[in-house]
Every structure is written in C-alpha cells, then in structure tokens.
C-alpha cells in the first residue's frame, strides 16, 4: 500500500526538507505541496491524499482552521500537525478539531515516516504521556463550564461504551481494553466506533480529550 502524502507549510525550506526526507520511503508518495491553509481544499480535491502534514502557523488560513474545515467532510484525509513545541495551545486545539496527532519539526525522518504510517492505518500518533501533557497544559475554557458540557455529551453513551471511552482516555490499546473489561477485541472496536459516532468525534485522541474534560480521568487509573 502506497500512502499519498500532502505537505502544507508556509516555509519553502521546510517543505523541501520534508519532501527530501520523506520521499525516500518506498511506501510514501508526496503528491503535492501547499504554502497556506487556504490551499488545502483544492489540493485535497486534486491529489486525494491519505494524510496531510499540516503546519499550524500560516499567514492567511492557519492549520487549525484548515484542519477543522477539512475534517468536517466525510472521508477526509487524516491530518498530522507540524509544530516546534511539545505542548502548544494550538496543537491541543488542532487535536480537538480532528487532527490525528502531531510531530515536531525536528523529529528524525524515520519517526515522521512511522507517524504517517500509523495515522494512515487509523492510529493516533500521540503517546498517552504526551496526550496527558497536552490535556493538562492548556485549558481553553473555565473548568466548570467545560466539565459540565463534556459530561453532558457523554450521557449519550451506554454504560459499556462509557467504560471503553474512559479506558481510551487512559491510553489503553484495544487489546488492553479487552483484557481490562473482559471482552473480545472485535467487541472493543465496535464500542469505540459507536462512541465516535454517537459523540461526533473523529478519532481516539478526541475521545481522550472529552473524557478528560468531563473529569473522568481525575481518579487513579484502575489498571
């Protein structure tokens, strides 16, 4: 399987460097480049990428806005945001908008390739530790309104779906959730899909952020 990759960054040197670094991977094909988020819809329509590497800070339409607009459409490619910071407010907002994760611009090429491959298969590129760092580093709203709003959204879930959502929030893999909750891995996958559909979310990172906002990760991890 060849993964079609679109690179969007306003710095031509960054684009050139990424193209050079990533173009050597046998299963990656750089199908296009963009210099601003405003170009993303047309580039995606023209090149049909599987993954978009998206810079956050761009002059006209930033990566956050471009990500939210792109991920609002069914069948949109996955987005990995590019940043220079480990815990950046814009990164957290991009994850809430539907990005599958982030990579630092100084990440070794092999790790960026691995991140693109993971995202293309539907896995986020954030470790649980990094996810927790981002979630606790920035609060976009006062805590109580945010918590109440998140808790209200979670009322749409059945009891078992809620347990699975909390386990996702703790960074569990499907196999780990299956062992913890005494169910089969296919059943876990079904529950995760239902959680995403019921809550209108794009990926597991957004589930983790929502259960964090609801205060469900405040207690010690049961595992």
Mean pLDDT by 10 residues, the chain (223 residues): 93 91 89 95 96 92 92 88 71 79 83 88 64 54 72 93 92 88 93 92 83 76 57
pLDDT at res. 97: 81
What is the distance between the alpha carbons of residues 131 and 106, in angstroms, rounded to a whole number?
19
- CB-based contacts of 165, cutoff 8 Å, min separation 6: 154, 157, 195, 207, 210, 211, 216
Strands (E) in the chain, as ranges, are: 3-8, 28-34, 51-55, 78-83, 101-104
Strand order of the sheet with strand 101-104? 28-34, 3-8, 51-55, 78-83, 101-104
Phi-psi region of 87 (alpha: psi -120 to 50; beta: other; left: phi over 0): beta
- CB-based contacts of 55, cutoff 8 Å, min separation 6: 8, 9, 10, 11, 14, 63, 81, 82
pLDDT at res. 138: 46
pLDDT at res. 134: 60
pLDDT at res. 39: 96
pTM confidence score: 0.70
Nearest one of 43, 45, 38, 36 to 12, comparing CA atoms: 36
């Amino acid at each position: 399987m060849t993964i079609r990759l679109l690179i969007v960054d306003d710095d031509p040197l960054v684009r050139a460097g990424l193209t050079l670094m990533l173009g050597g991977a046998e299963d990656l094909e750089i199908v296009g480049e963009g210099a601003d988020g405003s170009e993303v819809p047309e580039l995606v329509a023209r090149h049909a990428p599987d993954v978009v590497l998206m810079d956050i800070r761009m002059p006209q339409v930033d990566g956050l806005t471009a990500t939210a607009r792109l991920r609002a459409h069914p069948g949109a490619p996955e987005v990995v945001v590019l940043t220079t910071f480990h815990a950046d407010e814009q990164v957290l907002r991009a994850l809430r908008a539907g990005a599958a994760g982030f990579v630092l611009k100084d990440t070794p090429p092999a790790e960026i390739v691995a991140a693109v491959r993971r995202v293309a298969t539907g896995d986020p590129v954030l470790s649980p530790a990094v996810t927790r760092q981002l979630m606790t580093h920035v609060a976009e709203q006062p805590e109580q309104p945010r918590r109440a709003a998140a808790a209200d959204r979670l009322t749409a879930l059945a009891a078992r779906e809620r347990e699975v959502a909390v386990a996702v929030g703790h960074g569990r893999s499907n196999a780990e959730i299956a062992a913890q909750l005494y169910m089969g891995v296919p059943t876990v996958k079904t529950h995760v899909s239902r959680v995403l559909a019921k809550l209108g979310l794009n990926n597991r990172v957004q589930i983790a952020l929502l259960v964090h906002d609801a205060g469900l990760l405040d207690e010690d991890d049961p595992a």
